Chains A and B, each alone.
Chain A
Amino acid sequence: MPDNAVYYHAAYGVAALIYILYSLRLALKRRELRSRQPRSEP
């Protein structure tokens, strides 16, 4: 059996990293948007 585990480790790692980075980007964009929006006065 060929020893090519490094490729599948790399693929799993890169895929997880992309999803994590995109989720973080979305969360940061929403936080930035909320901080820019005017707050309603009490």
Chain B
Amino acid sequence: MTKEEKSLYTKRFDGRKFEELREISAKVGVVPNADGSAIFAQGDTIAIASVFGPKIFHPKNQQNPEKGVLRVHYGMLSFSVTERVKPGISRRSQEINQVTEWALTPVVMLEELPGTVVDVHINILQANAGTRCAGINAAALALAHAGIPMREMVSAVAIGKMDKTIVSDVTKEEEDYEDGEGATDIPMAYLPNSEKVTLLQLDGKIQPEKFKEALLAGKEACKKIAEIQKKALKESE
């Protein structure tokens, strides 16, 4: 980079390398009542997901005779954030329901489950940025654990641009960064096998070329997360 292009964000707040992910832990089978479940902790962000189904979809007239339906419900526990959120559905959670459903649907083989519904419940126990991504990671594990037929797994991560620096797996502190060009937040979900993106959102200020750099960083980060998810499933018993 030339002197004019040098970024103000030279060292991450928590000392990580730019491409380094936070410490991740994942475990399946945490909700005995569910058909499949998982907990996924990415640094200080903790998501729990449980899956019920496939089961018969009522009312019958809403059933799709061609393929099953995936229903996603995402919610943050009121005490998961620093300023309490009222329990219940918000516009934000409704939007996350939709984008999460779109992130997971391509891998779920719903054509094998006509007339049924698969319910995915995601709750955030503790939030420190990247909540919808942690939710997708937990949900993918829970779906696999529930024995839902899937083409492959999904992994998600929030990439950031801090002034001019691309970083992987942002924290809340990074999200709030205001120096220079400020913080740009890019949550994304990626299918490591077929190399396709199933979730992509962005807010901030980013040049097209820098965005491509972020996309690449996201791919690499998601591949690492995929390995962790694989391990959690293989070591589940």
Q: Do A and B come from one complex?
A: no
Residues of B that sit less than 8 Å from A by CB = none
